[in-house]
């Protein structure tokens, strides 16, 4: 049974390719997935850490409360013309009402469906891209929060892709260290490690994942 998604709670969100197949092949795949993530997920969740691997990904998110979720998600600007056409052509049709708040679980499904269609078309493949809907584990302790960030950023090292977290481009690690504008909750992440120096130092060493074994879903 899937862990329910509850407003205001923190989750480790994970998914992988069907039969452990690749879900990212070229740089454009990684970039497009992140673009779609911003479109579908930024409106319903705060993101604290992420990592994209060849055949799976990890995100640490907090689902926004109903009051925090706006009536129109980040796709509104791209769909204004479609909204107008629907409202003009079918004013009484229930789908013409675009003032409903997005549902978090459905937004994740929209993300995966949109990416699957794009990936299949781009790489001339068919069939299911992801193994299942998506897995998630509730992160309900400050220490778990810190260890999950370390686990996510060190995933490429533990899988043997690189020797250091600095060498892998598809995680949030470098974004957290930078001063560039970001929607990532950089300040909260740094505060969770007390300061940026401690954040960086803890990433230099292999972490024991035993304390968060129940949150790891690989």
Q: Which superfamily, per CATH, for 10-67+102-215?
A: Transposase IS200-like (3.30.70.1290)
Q: 170 versus 81: which is more confidently predicted?
A: 170
Helices and strands in the chain, H and E counts: 8, 4
Give me the pLDDT at residue 82, please: 45
Separation of alpha carbons 9 and 147, rounded Å: 17
Q: 91: which residues sit within 8 A by CB, 6+ positions away? A: none
Q: With contact defined as beta carbons under 8 Å apart, do 169 and 51 qualify?
A: no
Phi, psi of 91 (to 5 degrees): -60, -25
Lowest pLDDT segment from 53-57, 69-73, 182-186, 193-197:
69-73
Domain boundaries, the chain: 10-67+102-215
Mean pLDDT of the region 17-23: 93
pLDDT digits (tens, 9 = 90+) for 160-196: 999 999 999 999 999 999 999 999 999 999 999 999 9
Q: Which residues pair with 26 in a beta bridge?
A: none
Give me the pLDDT at residue 42, please: 95
Q: What is the pTM of this model?
A: 0.83
């Amino acid at each position: 049974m899937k862990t329910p998604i509850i407003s205001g709670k923190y989750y480790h969100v994970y998914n992988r390719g069907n039969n452990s197949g690749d879900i990212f092949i070229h740089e454009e795949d990684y970039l497009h997935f992140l673009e779609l993530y911003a479109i579908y997920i930024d409106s319903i969740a705060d993101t604290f850490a992420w990592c994209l691997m060849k055949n799976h990904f990890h995100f640490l998110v907090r689902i926004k409360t109903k009051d925090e979720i706006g009536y129109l998600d980040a796709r509104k600007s791209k769909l204004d013309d479609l909204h107008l056409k629907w409202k003009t052509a079918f004013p009484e049709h229930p789908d013409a009402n675009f003032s409903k708040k997005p549902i978090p679980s459905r937004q994740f499904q929209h993300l995966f469906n949109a990416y699957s269609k794009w990936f299949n078309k781009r790489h001339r493949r068919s069939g299911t891209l992801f193994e299942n809907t998506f897995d998630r584990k509730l992160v309900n302790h400050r220490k778990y929060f810190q260890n999950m960030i370390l686990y996510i950023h060190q995933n490429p090292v533990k899988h043997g892709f690189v020797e250091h977290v600095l060498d892998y481009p598809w995680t949030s690690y470098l974004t957290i260290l930078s001063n560039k504008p970001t929607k990532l909750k950089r300040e909260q992440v740094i505060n969770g490690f007390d300061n940026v120096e401690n954040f960086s130092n803890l990433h230099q060493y292999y972490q024991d994942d035993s304390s968060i074994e129940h949150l790891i879903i690989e």
